[in-house]
Homo-oligomer: A and B are copies of this chain.
Amino acid sequence: MSQDTITAALLVIGDEILSGRTKDKNIGYIAEYLTNIGIDLREVRVVPDEMDEIVEAVNRLRARYTYLFTTGGIGPTHDDITADAVSTALGVELYEDPRIIAAMLERLKPEDLNEARRRMARIPVGAEHVVNPISKVPGFKIENVIVMAGVPSIMQAMMDDVAPRLQTGARMMMETVEATGVPEGTYAAALSDIAKAHPDTIIGSYPQFHEGRFRNQIVVRSKDGAKLQAAVEAVGAMLKTMPASPR
Contacts and interface: CB of A to CB of B under 8 A. Distances in A.
Interface of A: 12, 14-24, 27-35, 40-49, 53, 75-80, 107-109, 112, 114-117, 119-120, 134-135, 151, 153-154, 172, 174, 184-189, 191-192, 195, 202-209, 214, 219, 221, 245-247
26 contacts: A14-B204, A17-B27, A18-B31, A18-B43, A20-B29, A20-B31, A20-B33, A20-B41, A21-B32, A27-B27, A43-B46, A43-B48, A44-B46, A45-B45, A49-B204, A75-B188, A77-B205, A78-B191, A78-B192, A79-B195, A79-B204, A79-B205, A107-B246, A108-B246, A135-B247, A153-B209
B23 A28 contact: yes
Contacts of A135: 209, 214, 247
A15 B35 CA distance: 12
B209 A134 contact: yes
A151 B207 contact: yes
A19 to B, nearest CB: 5
